Amino acid sequence: MGAIITGWGKCRPPLSLTNADLEQLVDTDDAWIRERTGIESRGMCHLETTDMAEVAARHAMAAAGYSPEDLDLIVVASVTPEITCPSNACVLQERLGAVNAAAFDLNAACSGFVYGLATVSSMVSAGVAKRALLVGVEKLHFVMDYRDRNTCVLFGDGAGAVIVEPGADDAGVLAVDLGADGVIGSTMVFETLGTRGELSRERDPARNRLHFEGQAVFKIAVKGMTESVRRALERAGLSTSDVDVVVPHQANERIIRAASARLGVDDAKVVVNIAQHGNTSAASIPMALTDALDEGRITPGDTVVFTAFGGGVTWGSIVMRWGNRAHRIDSSDATLPAPTGNVFDLLAPNRAFFAELHDD
C-alpha cells in the first residue's frame, strides 16, 4: 500500500521584507543579494508559528476534500516552535478541532519536511495512520540579527502543509534516504529555544542569534543533497532520467542550481520559488510543492523527488510517484489577519536586542 499526497497548501505572511528594505537596515544592496541568493523578498509573520500552520493546514484539507475530524495524525516540523509543551502539533489540533488525531512535533531543521514525510508515509503504509496532516512551519525572523547581512538576507517566515493517505500500490513513496552528521553540526546553530545554561541566565545576543557558516554550508548542502538523491533513486530502481520534477529545499538558488547540475537534472524540472519567500527552512519544500501543483507542473504518475539539507547536520531525499489527482478538490479562504504595523515595526525588537554586538 503506497502513501500519497492528496492535499496541499501554504501560508505566506502578508508582510514582506524586500531587498530594498534590507538596504535600509544593513550594508547591502539588491544586486548583491540577488546574485548570491536569488532572493528578492521574504515573508515576515506578525503572529505565531501555529497561526501560519493553521492557515496552511486548512488549505491542504480543502484541497484533499477533508474536514479536521477526518484526520488521525498531525505532525508539525519546525525549528522555531511557538511553545515547547504542549507541542505545536497539539496546539494545532485544538485550533483545527481535529479531535480524532494523534499529534507530535519533529525537528530536523531545514530537512524537517523530508524527515516528516518519511515518518508519516511509513505510518500510513504500515496502517498505523489512515489520514495524516504534515506541516512545515517556521518563524525564523525571531532569531535573526538584522544588522548582520550574512544571515538576515537569507531567511523568511512561512508554512506549508500536505495530507498523506493510502493510495494505489503503484503510487506513493518509492524510496527514502535520510542521514545526519553531528560532527559538523556547529556550522548552523542557535541556542535561543534550548535549555543549555543556567535557569536564571539572561539572554545573550551573541549566543542567541543564528550562527551560520555560509561557505561551509554551501559545500555541505550541494554534496549532501546530490549524494542523497542518487542513493534514493538507486533504492527506487530509477535514474535521474526518470525524474519528472524535483522539489528541493529552497536554501539558496546557487545551491539548488549547483546540485541539479551535478545530478544532471534539467533546470526546467526543478521547482524554485525562493525569490519571493527566502529560505523558510522546514516550510520551504511544502510551500514550493504547493506552487508547483497550483501551476500545473506536476501531473498524475509523475516521478517527484524531494531533497533537503539542514542544521544538525541533516539531509534527506524521497522519491515519490504521484497519485491520480494533481488538482484541488476544494479551496479555503483561510488567511492571516492584516498586521497593524509595517515590516520595520516588526523587526525593531530584533534590531534593539542585537544592537550591542555592533558599533553603529
Chain position carrying cell 492584516: 338
Mean of the pLDDT values across residues 214-243? 86
Which residues sit opposite 163 in a β-bridge? 7, 133
Contact 77, 116 (CB under 8 A): yes
Q: Which domains can be identified in the chain, with CATH numbers?
A: 2-357 (3.40.47.10)
CB 286 within 8 A of CB 137: no
Catalytic residue numbers, as ranges:
110, 249, 279
- Return all residues near 227 (Cβ < 8 A) that are at least 6 apart: none
SS3 175: strand
- β 158-167/303-310 pair status: unpaired
Average pLDDT over residues 98-111: 95
Residues 6+ apart with CB under 8 A from 87: 76, 81, 103, 104, 105
Taking 80 as the threshold, does the pLDDT of residue 186 lie above it?
Answer: no
| pLDDT tens digits along 234-257 | 999 999 999 999 999 998 899 899
Distance separating alpha carbons of residues 51 and 333, to the nearest angstrom: 14
The continuous run of DSSP H or E covering 266 comes out as none
CB neighbours of residue 321 within 10 Å: 22
pLDDT tens readout for residues 17-39: 999 999 999 889 999 999 989 99
pLDDT at 99: 97
